[in-house]
Amino acid sequence: MQQTGSQILFTALKEEKVDTLFGYPGGCVMDIYDEMFRQDIRHILVRHEQGAIHAADGYARASGRVGVCLVTSGPGATNTVTGIANAYMDSIPVVILTGQVPTAMIGNDGFQEVDITGITRTCTKHNFLVRRIGDLHGTIREAFQIARSGRPGPVLVDLPKDVIQSVTTTDPFPVAAYPGEEAPQDLEGLCNEALKLLVKAKKPLILVGGGVILGKASEEFRTFVRKFQIPVVSTLMGLGAFPASDPLWTGMLGMHGAYYANMAVSQCDVLMAVGVRFDDRATSKVEAFAPHAKIIHIDIDPVSIDKIIRTDVSIVSHCTPALQTLLRLSNAQGLTLPEGQIHAWHNQIRQWKAEMPLSYCRNRNIKPQYVIEKLHQLTQGRAIIATEVGQNQMWAAQFYRFDEPNTFLTSGGLGAMGFGLPAAIGAQVACPDRLVVDVAGDGSIQMNIQELGTMVHYGLPVKVVILNNLYLGMIRQWQELFYGSRYSQSDMTQAPDFVKLAEAYGIKGLRATKPNEVKRVLKEGLETPGPVVMDFHVEPEENVFPMVKPGTPLTEMAFGKIRTAVA
C-alpha cells in the first residue's frame, strides 16, 4: 500500500486517538494541510502560533489527554517557543508538529529555516528531526508516549517538507505496544516508612501539587486525606486536587498564600508533599521552610527529590500507585491518626483561619477580589477557570474556591502572559459542555487578544472577565512596595475600549464601573450564549495580599498598610 508522509502522519495521529489539532498553515506544511482536507480530524485555526501551543496546552490540562499543535517552519516554529517552555515548566503533555525545509536544504539558511530542535532542546522533554519517511510513523508514536509518560511534558517533532511529500510502499503499520512503567523498587517499604512518621505526628500536614492532578490521583489523594484527617495545603498548580469546600482544606501556601496555610507549613512536625517540586514561590526562604518537620516527598521525577528541600522519606513514583499503596498498607495494619492526638493541631488551624482570613477592604470602587467572589457564587464553583498572569491570576487562585481537578488552568512555572485566552479556547474545545472562563488583566489579555477571532470562528462560548486596573498590576505592585512607588513603564491607560473591541469581533461586550453593577454584568455575561467579554473597571492600585517578600520566611507576611504579621 502506497502512502505519503502526510498520510502516515495522520495514520499515527489516529492511532493516538487525536481528535483535534490547533494550528496555522504555512509553506512547509502545505502538504499536511492538503491531506487534512481529506481526513476526519478537527482543526482549530488560531490567529497566531503562540495561540496554537497555548490552546493545545489548555486542551491537555482540561482533558487530561495529550494536546497537539501544528505550525510551519521558521517563524511559525519560533512563535511556539514561549508556549513550549510554559508546558515544560508545568509538566503538560503536548506534541508540537513543526514544518521544516527539505532535508537537502537544512543548514543552508533557506527561506523560513530555523534549527527548531536546537532552539527547543532545553525546554522540551525530547525532540525529533525526522529525516526518513520510514522513521515517521514510529517517531510520532514515540513522541506521544514520551509526552504522557513519567513526568509529562512537551515533545517536538520537526517534519522536513520532502519527508512529508515522499511516498513509500509499506504494509499497514502495526500499533506499537509500549511496556508499562515499572513500579519503584521497594515501594511498600518506603510507604511503610512514611506511615511510621505520619502516625506519630501531632502536627501533620499534607502539601499537594500539580502532580496529583497530572497523575489522575485526586480520588486516591482525597481518600487518604480523609482517612487520616490531615489538613491539606496546596501549591498554585495543585488547586482543585482537594476540594476547597472541605473542612480539612487549609489553603494555598507561598508568596501569595493564605496566612493559615503558611503558618501551618511553618509549624507542622511532619510534612507529606505529594506531586510537588518545591518551587521558590511556594517555599520562599528554603532554610526556613517547614523548619520543625520531617519531610516525606512523593514525586515521579527523581531529579526533584532532595533538589531543593532535603527529605526524610523520598518515594519516586507516580502519585496514584504510591497513594494506593499507602491506603492498602494503612488499611491492612489498621493505622489511623487518633483524633485526640491531633485535636490541638486542628484547633490551632481553625484559630488561624478565624484570626486572619483572606480578606480585602471595600470602598466605592470595584474590588477585583469581589468580582472573583461573585464569579464563584454565580458559577457555583463549577466553571473551568483559565487565567492570564499577574494579579488577576493570584486573585483567582485566592478567591475562586476550586473543588475539582483540571478546573484551574494557569501558567505556573513560566508565568507566561497571554496564556489564559488561548488556554481557555483549548479547554472549551476539549470540554464543549462546560462553562469556561478566562480571568484576565488588561495588560496580559492584550498579548494574545487576537484569539477572540478564533472564539468567534468556531462559536466557542468562552467568557472573558477582564480585571481592568489600567496598569501592569503586579509590576506596579512591586514598584510600589520595593521601588519607592516609581511606576516605571507600568501605566496602561492607553488601552483599547474592550467592549468596542469585542463588538468589532462580533462578540458581546459588557462593562461594569461600580460595585453594584458587578453581579448584573456577570450574570448577563454568563447567561449569554456564545463568547462574551466583560470589562470590570477595578480599583487601580489594589494589591494582592498576603505577600511574602522574596527570600524571607513564609511566616513574614505583609497585609498592606493595615497590618503586617510576623510570627
Q: Are residues 333 and 444 in the same domain?
A: no
Question: 145 exposed, middle or buried (CB, 10 Å; 0-12, 13-18, 19+)?
Answer: middle
Would you call 196 a catalytic residue per the annotation?
no
Active site residue 50: no
Domain limits at 232? 187-355
Burial state string for 164-200 with b = 16 or more CB within 10 A and e = fewer than 16: bebebeeeeeeeeeeeeeeebeebeebbbbbbebbbe
333 is catalytic: no
For residue 489, indicate whether it is catalytic.
no
User: Does the residue 555 lie in any domain?
Assistant: no
Please confirm, yes or no, whether 185 is among the known catalytic residues. Answer: no
The answer to whether the beta carbons of residues 78 and 52 sit under 8 Å apart is no
d(CA 254, CA 209): 12
For residue 489, CA distances in Å to 260, 338, 390 come to 35, 56, 16
Task: Considering the candidates 16, 128, 161, 539, report the single residue annotated as catalytic.
Answer: 161
Q: Could you tell me if 207 and 233 are in contact, meaning their C-beta atoms sit under 8 angstroms apart? A: yes
CATH of the domain at 482: 3.40.50.970
The secondary structure of 365-399 as a DSSP string is SBPHHHHHHHHHHHHTT-SEEEE-SSHHHHHHHHH
Assess if residue 554 is contained within a domain: no
Assigned domain for 363 exists:
no
Please provide residue 169's backbone torsions phi and psi, each rounded to the nearest 5 degrees.
-100, 120
Question: Are residues 398 and 538 both part of a single domain?
Answer: yes
> Quick one: 340 and 409 in the same domain?
no
Let me know if residue 141 belongs to a domain. yes
Question: For cell 532542546, what's the residue?
Answer: 121
Statement to judge: residues 385 and 520 lie in one domain: yes
Candidates 3, 10, 49, 477; catalytic one = 49
Clarify whether residues 351 and 372 are in a common domain.
no
Q: Which of 310, 278, 315, 313 is nearest to 300 (CA)?
A: 315
SS3 538: strand
Distance CA 465, CA 437 (A): 7
Number of folded domains that form the chain: 3
Residue 67 domain flag: yes
Q: Which residues contact 40 (CB under 8 A, 6 or more apart)?
A: none
- Residues 337 and 380 both lie in one domain: no
Local structure of 537: helix, strand or coil: strand
467 and 511 together in one domain: yes
CATH of the domain at 246: 3.40.50.1220
Same-domain check for residues 424 and 458: yes
pLDDT in tens, the chain (567 residues): 899 999 999 999 999 999 999 999 999 999 999 999 999 999 999 999 999 999 999 999 999 999 999 999 999 999 999 999 999 999 999 999 999 999 999 999 999 999 999 999 999 999 999 999 999 999 999 999 999 999 999 999 999 999 999 999 877 666 655 555 555 568 999 999 999 999 999 999 999 999 999 999 999 999 999 999 999 999 999 999 999 999 999 999 999 999 999 999 999 999 999 999 999 999 999 999 999 999 999 999 999 999 999 999 999 999 999 999 999 999 999 999 988 999 999 999 999 999 999 999 999 999 999 999 999 999 999 999 999 999 999 999 999 999 999 999 999 999 999 999 999 999 999 999 999 999 999 999 999 999 999 999 999 999 999 999 999 999 999 999 999 999 999 999 999 999 999 999 999 999 999 999 999 999 999 999 999 999 999 999 999 999 999 999 999 999 975 443 334
Whether residue 399 is found in the same domain as residue 271: no
Q: Would 177 be classed as within a structural domain?
A: no
- Which of 474, 492, 534, 557 is the catalytic position? 474
Residue 63 C-alpha cell reads as: 482533558
Q: Which residue has the cell 508516549?
A: 145
Of 39, 112, 165, 450, the active-site residue reads: 112
